[in-house]
Amino acid sequence: MMTSIDQCIVLEPVTETNFEEVFALNVTDDQRRFVASNVLSVAQAYVFKCWEPYAIRIGPTLVGFTLLYFDPAGDEPTTASIVRFMIDRHQQRRGYGGRAMAAIVHTLRKRTGVESIELCVHPENTVARKLYESAGFSDTGRMYGYEMIYELPLT
């Protein structure tokens, strides 16, 4: 299933036809401490069945990756999570991050029962924090390990 908010932005499930492209995506050297590799993320999605890996395309170009979580049978069925989000180092500073985040929020908003979206961000990752805040997320004051938990209420 592909989901888009316009003709240019598409969240495409990671499959046998695009996983090598996804694995080739990388962040900049100074961002590596903030996000796990896409290889690890896809492996985790294989183990944790409620985690959904998506390639992010802008037109025909693969620009990023996201890993989403929603378990309607879980303890918090009203909360979905953006477990991972990255834009390839060669595609950064083009406005793709904000547009991709809008597509992700749109996708999760369509899920039955989702009332909020959470994500975690390293306190020193100021670029990501600004992006998330511009998309409507705010700091909850809670922590997950050493990362801040941000939330976007949908109701």
What's the distance, CA 74 to chain centroid?
A: 20
Instruction: List the chain pLDDT tens, one digit each, 155 residues.
Output: 455 444 588 999 999 999 999 999 999 999 999 999 999 999 999 999 999 999 999 988 999 999 999 877 666 558 899 999 999 999 999 989 999 999 999 999 998 788 999 999 999 999 999 999 999 999 999 999 999 999 999 98
What is the pTM for the complete model shown?
Answer: 0.90
CA distance 42 to 1: 17
CA distance 36 to 67: 11
Sheet holding 61-69, edge to edge: 3-4, 9-13, 51-58, 61-69, 79-87, 116-121, 147-153, 138-144
DSSP state of 20: H
